[in-house]
Chain A
Amino acid sequence: MQPIISIRGLEKTYASGHQALKGVDLDINRGEIFALLGPNGAGKTTLIGAICGLVTATAGTVTVDGHDNVRAYREARSRIGLVPQELNTDAFEPVGATVRFSRGLFGRSPDPALIEQLLRDLSLWDKRDAIIKELSGGMKRRVMIAKALSHEPEILFLDEPTAGVDVELRRDMWNMVRKLRERGVTIILTTHYIEEAEEMADRIGVIDGGKLMLVEEKHALMKKLGRKELTVQLAEPLAAIPPELADWKLELIADGRELRYVFDRHAERTGVPSLLARMRDLGINFSDLNTHQSSLEEIFVGLVHGKRAA
C-alpha cells in the first residue's frame, strides 16, 4: 500500500545557521500510529512544521496522499490536522466559534452536528459558549484538539500532546487516539513519555540531531534492541568477582550479595547456562535469580547516548 506521507531528503537550515534536519527519509503508513521520539532540539517539531507548512524546507520533498505539500499545498494541507506543542489559542473567542472557524479555514462547509459531536467527545460541549482565556490549560488543550479535528482530517499530528497534561486528560486523549485510529485516521505523535509510545504506537522513529536514527515496528524494535539483565542473588556475599568469571563482564552489586550480567537474549549463546555452570564449579551458591527486559526508554537512552558518545 502507498504510504500516506512520504518524506525524501528533507533538510532544514535556519537563518541562524542551525541545521535542524539533516536529510530525513520517512514513510508513514496509512492508518498507523507513528511515534516520533527524541530529546529536546532533536528536530521533531521542525519535521512536523515542514510537513504541515509552518516551516519552509531547505531541501527535499514531502508528499501527502500523493500530493506534494508545496506545489499541491491545498490538497496536502486539507488532509492534515495539527495540534502544536504550545498552548496557542485565541483569548477572547468562545469555544464553539473558534472550532467552527477552524473548519471554515480548511475550506469545509459548516456542519453543526459534527461540531457538536466533536465537542461532546472532548467534554467541551458544556463550555461551548465559554471564552477561551477563562479555561484551564487542560481545557485549552482540548480546544486545540477540537480545532485540529474540525475539518475531518485523515492525518493528525500531535506534537507533545501530553506534556503538562493531567492524568484524566491524558487518558481521554489516548482513548480518542484509539477511536480515531479505528476510523482510519493516521496519527503521528511526538512524546517524551516513552511508555506512551510503547503502549500506543505501531511504529517508532527515533530522531536525534536532525537525523532519523531508526524507524522500526515497535515490537521488532524492542526485540531487536532488547537487552536482558540477569541478577543472581548470592547465598554468601563475595568480596570480589573471581577471575574465572571475567569472561562474562559481571558487576558485583548490593554489597557483594548480587551479581549482575547483561546479555542479548537473541544472541546464539546468551552465556547464561555456561555462567551458572561455572559458578557451580567454583562453589558459588545462589539463593535466587531473576531476569529483566529493558524498556523502550532504556533502549532509547542507550541509543541516543551511544551515538553521541561515538
Chain B
Amino acid sequence: MNSPHLAAPRFNWQGVWALYRFEMHRFRRTLWTGLAVPVITTSLYFIVFGSAIGSRMTEVSGIPYGSFIVPGLMMLSLFQESTFNGAFGIHMPRFTGTIYELLSAPMSAFETVLGYVGAAATKAMLVAAIILVTANLFVDVQVEHPVIMLAYLVLVACTFSLFGFVLGIWAKGFEQLQVIPLLIVTPLTFLGGAFYSLDMLPEPWRTVTLFNPIAYLINGFRWTFFGQADVSPLASLAVTAAFFAICLGTVWWIFRTGYRLKN
C-alpha cells in the first residue's frame, strides 16, 4: 500500500475473469443437480415423446420423430438455463447488497456484462451439450452443419443470457424472476414448434405461429441439424440477431441510466 499507484488497466480483464470465475464457482456448488436435471429431463422427454407418442408418428418432414425433437429439446433448455442463470447472477448481488462492490469497482458496463453473460451462456451451453449426448443414447442424431450449429448455440445462449440479465435487474424479487420464463418463454417455446413441425398445424394456427419469434429460433437451430426447417435459416438468423440487438440495447440503456442499479 506504500507502493506508488499503478495505472488502472485499459480493459479490466482481471475483473471480467474474477466475475466469470465467481459465477462458474456458483454453478460448481450445484454441479450434481445441474448435471442430473438435464439428463433426467431429456430421458423423460424421450420416454414420453420419443417412445410413447413417437412410436405412432415415426417421421416428421422425413426425419425420425425421436431425432426431430432433439434440437427443440436443446433450445428449450438453452432458453431456460440462459435466462435463469443470467437473471440469477445479477439479481443475487442486488438482493444481498453485495452489488456495492461491483458498482465501486473499476469495471465498465461491457466488462460487467461480459463476465455475467459469459458465465451464464457457458453453463447453458454445457447443459445443451449434455442433452445432445443423452439424446444420442436414445436416438441417432446427425448434425449436418456442426460449425454453424455451435455458432448458433453461442448466439442464442448469449442472447437469452442478456435477456436474463435484463430480467435480473428489472425483477423486484425472486417471484418476478420466475414469472417471465414460466409465463412467456416456456409457452412460446412449446408453441414455437419445439416438438412438432409448423406444417403439422392447421390454419390459422400455422400463420399465428409465424408471429412467435421463438419459432424462428428453434427452426434455425433445427436447420443446422437436418439442413431443412419450416422457415428459412436466414429469417431465423435475422430474428435471433434482432432479439440479441434488443437485449443488448436494453442493457446499454440500463447502465447508461443506472436503472435499478444505482439510486
Identify the A interface with B (CB < 8 A): 14-15, 52-56, 65, 73-75, 77-80, 82, 84, 86, 88-93, 97, 100-109, 147, 149, 152-154, 180, 183-185
Contact = CB atoms under 8 A, between A and B. Distances in A.
B14 A104 contact: yes
Contact of B100 (A14, A54, A93): A54
Given A56-B258, A89-B96, A183 B104 contact: no
B12 A107 contact: yes
Nearest to A52: B104
B101 A102 contact: yes
A106 B105 contact: yes
Contacts of A107: 8-9, 12-15, 106
7 closest pairs, A vs B, by CB?
A104-B18, A88-B97, A74-B8, A74-B106, A78-B8, A77-B106, A107-B12
B243 to A, nearest CB: 29
16 contacts: A52-B103, A52-B104, A53-B104, A56-B262, A77-B104, A78-B5, A88-B97, A89-B96, A93-B25, A102-B101, A103-B18, A104-B18, A105-B18, A149-B1, A153-B1, A184-B2
A56 B254 CA distance: 13
Contacts of B29: 92
B18 A154 contact: no
Given A108-B14, A185-B1, A90 B103 contact: no
Given A74-B8, A82-B104, A105 B15 contact: yes
Interface string B245-263: 0000000000000100011
A109 B3 CA distance: 15
B25 to A, nearest CB: 7
B102 to A, nearest CB: 7
B67 to A, nearest CB: 40
Contacts of B3: 152
Contacts of B17: 104
A54 B108 CA distance: 14
B114 to A, nearest CB: 13
B262 A55 contact: yes
Given A89-B98, A92-B29, A104-B14, A77 B105 contact: yes
B196 interface: no
Interface residues of B, number: 34
A105 B3 CA distance: 20
A103 B22 CA distance: 12
B208 interface: no
Given A88-B97, A105-B15, A107-B12, A54 B2 contact: no
B96 A91 contact: yes
Interface string B105-147: 1111000000000000000000000000000000000000000
Contacts, number: 100
Nearest to B18: A104
B184 interface: no
B96 A88 contact: yes
Contact of A105 (B2, B97, B101, B108): B101
Interface string B9-28: 10011110111011001100
B12 A101 contact: no
Contact of A75 (B2, B8, B18): B8
Contacts of B105: 77, 105-106
A272 B148 CA distance: 94
Contacts of A100: 18
Interface string B85-100: 0000000000011101
A183 B13 CA distance: 28
B7 interface: yes
B2 A183 contact: yes
Nearest to B102: A105
Contact of A147 (B8, B15, B21, B101): B101
Question: Which residue, B8, B9, B25, has most C-beta atoms of chain A within 10 A?
Answer: B8
Question: Which residue, A73, A100, A149, has most C-beta atoms of chain B within 10 A?
Answer: A73
A11 B25 CA distance: 40
A65 B12 contact: no
Contacts of B100: 54, 82, 84, 88
B25 A109 contact: no
B1 A154 contact: yes
B18 A80 contact: no
Contact of B263 (A14, A52, A154): A14
A183 B9 CA distance: 24
Contacts of B22: 93, 101
Contacts of A55: 262-263
Nearest to B15: A105
B200 to A, nearest CB: 46
Contacts of A185: 1
Given A84-B100, A100-B18, A105-B107, 7 more contacts: A53-B104, A82-B101, A88-B98, A90-B98, A101-B18, A105-B105, A109-B14
B207 to A, nearest CB: 44
Given A89-B96, A104-B14, A180 B1 contact: yes
B6 to A, nearest CB: 8
A103 B15 CA distance: 8
Question: Which residue, B1, B7, B103, B107, has most C-beta atoms of chain A within 10 A?
Answer: B1
A123 B205 CA distance: 67
